[in-house]
A and B are shown apart, each in its own frame.
Chain A
Amino acid sequence: MNPVIEVTALHKTYGTGETEVHALRGVDLTVWSGEYLAIMGASGSGKSTLLNVLGCLDVPTRGTYKLDGIDVGDLNERQLSLVRNRKIGFVFQSYNLVPRTSALSNVELPLIYAGVGRRERRKRAVAALEMVGLADRSGHKPNQLSGGQQQRVALARALVTGPAMVLADEPTGNLDSESTDEVLAVFDRLNRIGRTIVMITHEDHVAGRAARTVRVSDGQIVEDTSRWHRTGALT
C-alpha cells in the first residue's frame, strides 16, 4: 500500500531577520491510504501551517512533501491548482461555500474546474449530496441552509472529485453538538468506505473519532498515537 502523505524534514519560516517566525521546525509524517488522522495542537503550534502545506495552499521553506507519490515541491502554480482539484478535498471551519449559489452548483464547482461534462457532473454531484444526506436540499442557497447542512454540502463538494484525501480544518468548530454529530457521522461513513481523512481539531471528543492522533507543538510533532497500537512520542 502506498502512503498518501509522505512528509520529510518539513520547515516553514515566515518573514526574515528579527521578525522571522519558525512555524514548522522539521516535521516528518506518513499517512497511509484509508487512514483517519486527527492533528491536534494549541493555537500557534503550527498545525494550521501544516494543514496549508498538506493542502498545497502553501509551499514549505525546506523539506519534501510527496502527495500520492507526487513530489509537490516540483510543481508550478498551475500544477498545484490541478493537484488541489484532483487529489484533495477541502472542508473548512467556516464552510466556505460560494454565496448565492445552490448546493448542487457548489458541489459541481470542482468538477467544472476539472473539465467534467454537464451530464456526468450533475450525476456525480447528486450522488455526493445523497451521501451526505442532503439530496432534497440541492436547490437551496447557502443562506437557506443551517450550519450543519452547509458543512455537509462542503463535505459533498470535497469528496465529489474522488480525491486521495479529505483535508478538514476544524470542521465542527462553528457547529452545535447535534450538527457536530451529523457531520462526524458523515466522516465516519467516508472512512469506512476507504477514504483517507486528515482533520485538524482541538476538541478531544472529535479527535476521539479518528484512529490516529498527532499532536503538534512549537512546529514539531510531539506525539503520534494510534488507537490500536501506541508508537509513543516522536521528536
Chain B
Amino acid sequence: MAQDGSPDVKTGEVLRFALRGLAANKLRSGLTTLGIMIGVAAVILLVAVGSGASASIEQSIAGLGTNVLTVSRAGGQGSTARPLTVEDAKALVDPLGAPDVKASSPVVSTPVTAVSGGTSYDVPQLIGTNPEYFSTSNSAVASGSLFTADDVSFGRKVLVLGPTTAQELFAGADPVGEQVLLDNIQFTVIGVLQSKGSSGLANADDTAIAPLTAVQNSLTGYGQVNQILVQSTSADSMSAAQAEITAILSARHRIAANQTPDFRVLSQEQLLATRTTATETFTVLLASVAAISLLVGGIGVTNIMLVTVTERIREIGIRKAIGATRGVILGQFLTEATLLSLFGGALGVAAGVVGSQFTIAGITPVVVPGSIFLAFGVSALIGLFFGSYPAGRAASLRPIEALRHD
C-alpha cells in the first residue's frame, strides 16, 4: 500500500525550501546572522588576543637573556626567610664551588620619578646592579656607554636609560651627558640601550639602570637585593648551575637538607611556566565572555525562528495538507536555522581572522586554528540546538488549525 512506501524527499529540495524561506525576509535573516557572526568573531578574536598575550610574555622572558637563572626570595613579606644580599650574589661566583656559573648580578629595583629640565616621568623600575647585568640580560648600548666595575666601586651616580624612558624624558634629543633627578638625587646619563621590543604587558624598554652602590646609597639603602640574575656557562650547564646555586645559598642561609629553602632558583622555562598559568586564566576569561555572546546569538536564532514559524503557520498547514510529513517540516525549519548560524559562523570566522591582523591594546593577536574550527562547529550546533524548539513547534502543528490561522 502506498502509505507504507517511504517518501524520500531529496535533501536538495529541503535545502531549497530553507533558502527560499530565508530569502523571503532578507533583513531579518541578515540581522540574525549578524548576532552569530559577532559571537564567532569574538571567540576567535579574544582567544587570539589571549594567545598573543602569552606569546609576548614568552618573548619578553626570552629577552631576559640566554642561559639565565633568576634567584628570588621565597615567601611573601614578613616571612622568616632570610633576604638575599649582595654577599649572596658574590658567593655564587666561585670557580670551585660553582664551576658552571659564569656571572652573577645582584639586582635592586624600585620605581622612581625622574625629572629632567621641565619634564617629569614615572619610571616603573630603576635597576641597581653591576656591569655583568648587561651581558646577562642581553642589553646592548645604542648610544653613549655602559657603566663599569669602577663606577660600581666608587658609587658614581651615572645612569643608562631604556629607549622608552629616554624618549619620554628627552623627546628625541640626545640624553647622553644630561642630568636627571631621580627622586631628587642627581644622576648623569651616560648611555641609552637598544630596544628589546615592547612585550605588551611589561615594557622592557621602560627602564633605567644605575650602579648598584649608587642606587643603594641614595635610594634603597643597603639592605636586601630583590633578585640575583645568574648566567650559566652554557645552555647544557643550566641544571648543574641551578644545583650549585641551591647548594651554596642553602649553606649560607643554613637550610638543612630536609628543609624547604627560603629562596627560589628559576630558569626561563620555569619562569615561563608560572607566567603561562596566569595568561591561561586570562584567555579562559576572554573565551567565556566570547562564548556568552555566541549564546546570545543563538538565542537570537531561536527568537527569529519562532517569529518565522508563527508567521508561516498557514504555509505549514498547506504543506502538511498536501502531504508533508512531520519530518520534512522539521527538516525544513532546522535547515533554515542551521543555515542562518552557518552563514553567521562563516562571516564571523572571516571577521575574526581579519580583526586579528590588527594590534589590540598593545597585543598582537595570534589566531589559534583550533578556535576557528571550534567556533564554526559550535555555530552549526547552535543552529541545530536553538532551531530545534521552533522547528519542533512547526512540525507538531495540526494541519486544520494551521490552515484556519490568518
Pairwise interchain contact A85-B323, C-beta atoms closer than 8 A:
yes
CB interface residues, B 387-401, toward A, < 8 Å: 399-400
- Please tell me the number of chain B residues within 8 Å of chain A, measured between CB atoms: 29
A81 to B10, CA, bound (A): 17
Interface string of A71-89 (1 = CB under 8 A from B): 0000101110111111100
Assess A86 versus B319: contact at CB under 8 Å? Given A112-B9, A112-B13. Answer: no
Contact of A115 among B1, B7, B399 (CB under 8 A): B7
A99: chain B residues within 8 A (beta carbon): 315
B314: chain A residues within 8 A (beta carbon): 96
Pairwise interchain contact B319-A98, C-beta atoms closer than 8 A:
yes
Identify which of B202-210, B213-221, B324-332, B360-368 touches chain A.
B324-332
CB interface residues, A 133-157, toward B, < 8 Å: 157
Chain A residue at smallest Cβ distance from B318: A96
Interface string of B296-320 (1 = CB under 8 A from A): 0000000000000000001101111
Chain B residue at smallest Cβ distance from A160: B322
A115: chain B residues within 8 A (beta carbon): 7-10
Assess A84 versus B323: contact at CB under 8 Å? Given A58-B400, A79-B3, A92-B403. Answer: yes
Assess A57 versus B399: contact at CB under 8 Å? Given A78-B325, A115-B7. Answer: yes
B325: chain A residues within 8 A (beta carbon): 78, 81-82, 113
Pairwise interchain contact A100-B20, C-beta atoms closer than 8 A:
yes
B327: chain A residues within 8 A (beta carbon): 78
Pairwise interchain contact B3-A90, C-beta atoms closer than 8 A:
no
A101 to B16, CA, bound (A): 12
Judged by a CB distance under 8 angstroms, whether A41 is at the interface is no
How many A-B pairs have beta carbons closer than 8 Å: the answer is 80
Chain B residue at smallest Cβ distance from A110: B322
Chain B residue at smallest Cβ distance from A117: B10
Pairwise interchain contact B323-A114, C-beta atoms closer than 8 A:
yes
Assess A83 versus B318: contact at CB under 8 Å? Given A92-B403, A115-B8, A115-B9. Answer: no
Interface string of A91-105 (1 = CB under 8 A from B): 010001111110000
A86: chain B residues within 8 A (beta carbon): 2-3, 323
A205 to B258, CA, bound (A): 111
Interface string of B1-25 (1 = CB under 8 A from A): 1111101111001000000100010
Judged by a CB distance under 8 angstroms, whether A191 is at the interface is no
Pairwise interchain contact A84-B8, C-beta atoms closer than 8 A:
no
Interface positions of A (Cβ within 8 A of B): 52, 55, 57-58, 70, 75, 77-79, 81-87, 90, 92, 96-101, 109-110, 112-115, 157, 161
Interface positions of B (Cβ within 8 A of A): 1-5, 7-10, 13, 20, 24, 314-315, 317-328, 399-400, 403
What would 14 more interface pairs be, CB under 8 Å, given A82-B5, A96-B403?
A: A57-B403, A58-B400, A83-B2, A84-B320, A84-B322, A85-B324, A86-B3, A87-B2, A90-B322, A92-B403, A96-B318, A97-B318, A109-B319, A115-B7
> 30 A–B contact pairs at CB < 8 A?
A55-B321, A57-B403, A77-B326, A79-B4, A81-B323, A81-B324, A81-B326, A82-B3, A82-B5, A82-B325, A84-B323, A85-B323, A85-B324, A86-B323, A87-B2, A90-B321, A96-B314, A97-B318, A98-B319, A100-B24, A101-B20, A110-B322, A113-B9, A113-B322, A113-B323, A113-B324, A114-B7, A115-B7, A115-B10, A161-B323
